Amino acid sequence: MSLLEVRNLKVNVDNHEILKGIDLEINPGEVHSIMGPNGSGKSTLAQVLARRESYDVTGGEILYDGKDLLAMKPEDAACEGIFMAFQYPVEIPGISNAYFLRSALNAIRKYRGQDELDAMDFLPMFREKLKLLDMDEKQMNRSVNEGFSGGEKKRNEILQMAVLEPKLAILDETDSGLDIDALRIVANGVNAMRSPERAIIVVTHYQRLLNYIVPDFVHVLVNGRIVRSGGPELALELEEKGYGEIESEARQVTPA
Amino acid sequence: MITATEQLEIYLESFTELQKRAAGRDLPWLRQLREDAFARFCEVGFPNTHDEDWRFTNVSAIARAPFQLAQDGGLSNEEVEPFRIKGAACQLVFVNGRFVRDLSSIGKLPAGVNVNGLAEEINGNPRVLEAHFGRYLDTRRDAFCALNTAFADDGAYVHIRKGTIVEDPIFLLFISTVGDAPLMSHPRNLIVAEQESQATIVEDYVSLGESTAFCNTVTELVAGDNAVISHYMIEREHRQAFNVSTLRIQQGRSANVASHSVLLGGGLVRNNVHPVLAGEGGECLINGLFIGNGQQHLDNYMLVEHASPHCGSRQFYNGILDDRAHGVFHGRIIVHKDAQKTDAKQTNRNLLLSDDAQIDTKPQLEIYADDVKCTHGATIGQIDENALFYLRSRGIDELSARKLLLFAFASECLDRMKASPAREHVEELIHGHLLEVAHSANRFATGIPSEDTGRKWEEIG
């Protein structure tokens, strides 16, 4: 059974149709990349999968692990194993990173009927993950994302993913604005998470990240529709030709 | 409800009665102090909203209720137990403003510390007390201070001698009880911290049972040169309670005082904090947190007087208001002519969780010196929906996420309190209270109308 099945998904934002019928099937162990120009609906798809409620789903369905994802609240989706790395991670003054992360992990563990971890149990595992992402433990006593650089925020997202160990991870433009060193660290963190049980969706504008996280499948999203799907070579083709050609092809198929 | 004339008659009756039995009724200075104060109260009466200092708070509900002086309520230890805190140096219990020795535990205090009921101290040792009692409070300005002084009979007396350090908090618990008629009490506290002394004092106001009660409390806090004092005022009475409190701080040279006001309970609450930085180099932190829901009215009034050079004052107040709660932040700073190099700052941040919650925030700076730094700022906001989604997307349920965000906002105030059992006590209270507020905010967010049980104080007036 596939882990995620998106069928003819249609989504409106402010009464404007952003996704116009998306079909997508993802199996455990696979890495899918969703590429597309600005405004194509990439982030909308990621946010809907993470169950952001301000998006108006007007049609279609999403089955996650055989369950109706659209009926889930964001916290339920998270507890069922969905994780989205935010394009713009939120700063939360007054809550420390470590406390936040332990609360999140314990909420998920509780949902799954596992014992909650106290600070002593949490720390060894946490330190290991910090090392993986080359992050400083001191930083974890500071408020969530507060005063973090762009790169630190993105690394913090991957750290959270490493701690929460989702079944389906969605990286929403995690590469945007990263220098090459940070990009490598983030990619290493993600690659370390690849496993036969876990699926990853890499949403990106650029091909660059895919040199480091090599996807099994690439989908090109244009104007709310997936216009092409293929292997990793599709990403290289896009890098060479740009989105222009594929956009004009898309226009010919479905005249506006 | 009663008229203004009836009201004065009721107060006069109580006053005459009290003068016959009050502690120190034979001490001419104290008798005079009470009589003058009562005359002043009769002269000015309760303030109304035309008075600039009371613009946002209508006290006519207090003025029109026929309050009787509360009698001693015989409470058992079991009834008091839930309100006690862990780790206090001593616990003094006051029932309707009267010190109850049997419920109190003086514990092992260092030599050089005297804690007692005020009435006992007046009767036993009035000379030491006379030097400070009523010397700082301005009964001319404020009718509530005049009223308190007229009825000043009992309360807490804390005297910390030169160089004495009290590590653990001195805990003062004020319990109001139920009566057949609306009850009033006027606790009067005097805290004298001599030169180079150090202590934490917690005043905690609670109630047993629910009936209309009026607690009008005054604390005079004298901080000698180089003294370091933390003072906590915690209001958590029931929703039928009127609570008016005044903390008058007199600071000596290089004295360092922190005032923490935490308003969680009460129906109509007014908290006055009035420090006078009388000696050079003094520092005063005026830290506050008010969390209201239902129909609560929580008014924070500060009057910070810089009377000497090189003093610093910081006012930080955070408010969280839900349902139809009304909050007030009125921060007045006066920099006197000679108070050069004053550094005064005030900040008020508010979270409004419903459309009907209201905050009035008003800075008022009066500067008569020419080399000073004074800043003020205020913000009003809602719960950040992005932050809420961020937390939820990590598995934290909506209610817990809301509570976490509210607590983060409140913790700005907690962070300004030194680590101590007093802070832990406050933290625990806030956790409990925020869960309730998060619940009602959650209900609001999901569109279920809140129950309209409480009274609207303005409407009664």
B114-B247-B117 Cα angle (round to 5) = 30
Picking from B279, B308, B335, the residue at the C-terminal end of a domain is B279
B267 and B124 together in one domain: yes
B272 and B388 together in one domain: no
Residue B1, pLDDT score: 65
B262 and B389 together in one domain: no
Work out the average pLDDT over B268-294.
97
Q: What is the pLDDT of residues B37-78, one digit of tens each?
A: 999 999 999 999 999 999 999 999 999 999 999 876 688 999
B404: nearest CA partner in chain A: A95
Residue B441, pLDDT score: 62
Work out the average pLDDT over A33-47.
94
Contact A50 B393 (CB under 8 A): yes
Picking from B261, B279, B297, the residue at the C-terminal end of a domain is B279
Residue B442, pLDDT score: 60
* Residue B400 belongs to a domain: yes
Q: What is the pLDDT of residues B81-92, one digit of tens each?
A: 999 999 999 999
* Residue B12 belongs to a domain: yes
Residue A253, pLDDT score: 60
Residues 6+ apart with CB under 8 A from B269: B235, B242, B243, B244, B263, B296, B297, B298, B299
Residue that has been written with the tokens 């190099």 in this structure: B341
pLDDT band of B353, cuts 50, 70, 90? very high
Could you give phi then psi for residue B141, rounded to 5 degrees?
A: -75, -40
* Residue B262 belongs to a domain: yes
Is the complex ipTM more than 0.85?
yes
What is the amino acid identity at position B409? F
Does B314 have pLDDT greater than 70?
Answer: yes
| B contacts of A103 (beta carbons < 8 Å) | 396, 400, 404
Contact A103 B387 (CB under 8 A): no
Work out the average pLDDT over B337-347.
96
Three-class SS of A75-119? HHHHHCCEEEECCCCCCEEEEEHHHHHHHHHHHHHHHCCCCCCCH
B399 and B269 together in one domain: no
pLDDT band of A254, cuts 50, 70, 90? low
For all residues of chain B together, what is the average pLDDT? 92
d(CA B178, CA B210): 6
Work out the average pLDDT over A63-86.
97
* Residue B356 belongs to a domain: no
Q: Half-sphere exposure (CA, 13 Å, Cβ side) for B263?
A: 37
Residue B250, pLDDT score: 98
Which is nearest to A91 in space by CA: A10, A152, A44, A31?
A: A152
A161: nearest CA partner in chain B: B394
Residue B139 has which token pair?
């009964």
Work out the average pLDDT over A160-187.
93
| A contacts of B405 (beta carbons < 8 Å) | 92, 95
Does B133 have pLDDT greater than 60?
Answer: yes
B392 and B273 together in one domain: no
Which of A63-67, B157-161, B330-334, B453-457 has the weakest average pLDDT?
B453-457
Considering only CB atoms, B411 lies closest to which of A86, A90, A94, namely: A94
Residue B160, pLDDT score: 98
* Residue B439 belongs to a domain: yes
Contact B395 A164 (CB under 8 A): yes
The total domain count for chain B is 2
Residue B437 has which token pair?
């507020």
Residue B346 has which token pair?
């005030």
Q: Which of B392, B409, B446 to mutate to test the interface with A (most CBs of A within 10 A)?
A: B392
* Residue B244 belongs to a domain: yes
Contact A75 B411 (CB under 8 A): no
Residue A256, pLDDT score: 44
Residues 6+ apart with CB under 8 A from B393: A50, A51, A52, A74, A75, A77, A78, A83, A84, A86
Which of A173-182, A192-201, B391-400 has the weakest average pLDDT?
A173-182
- Domain residue limits at B121: 4-279
B9 and B145 together in one domain: yes
Q: Which of A49, A92, A159 to mutate to test the interface with B (most CBs of B within 10 A)?
A: A92
Work out the average pLDDT over B16-39.
94
| Residue A76 to chain B, least CA–CA distance (Å) | 7
B9 and B151 together in one domain: yes
Does A254 or A82 have the greater pLDDT score? A82
What is the secondary structure of A39-50 as a DSSP string?
TSSHHHHHHHHT
Residue B8, pLDDT score: 87
Work out the average pLDDT over B116-133.
94
Contact in structure between A135 and A115 (CB atoms under 8 Å): no
| A contacts of B390 (beta carbons < 8 Å) | 86, 89-90, 92
Contact B390 A50 (CB under 8 A): no
* Residue B301 belongs to a domain: no
Q: What is the pLDDT of residues A76-106, one digit of tens each?
A: 999 999 999 999 999 999 999 999 999 999 9
Put simply, whether B446 touches A (Cβ < 8 Å) is: no
| Residue B315 to chain A, least CA–CA distance (Å) | 19
Work out the average pLDDT over A36-53.
94
B183 and B68 together in one domain: yes
Picking from B279, B296, B313, the residue at the C-terminal end of a domain is B279
Residue A239, pLDDT score: 84
Considering only CB atoms, A74 lies closest to which of B393, B407, B412, namely: B393
Contact A92 B398 (CB under 8 A): no
Residue B57, pLDDT score: 96
B187 and B61 together in one domain: yes
Does B440 have pLDDT greater than 80?
Answer: no
* Residue B215 belongs to a domain: yes
Does B452 have pLDDT greater than 60?
Answer: no
Classify residue B115 by burial, with Cβ atoms within 10 Å: 0-12, 13-18, 19+.
Answer: buried
Work out the average pLDDT over A129-139.
90
Could you give phi then psi for residue B87, rounded to 5 degrees?
A: 80, 15
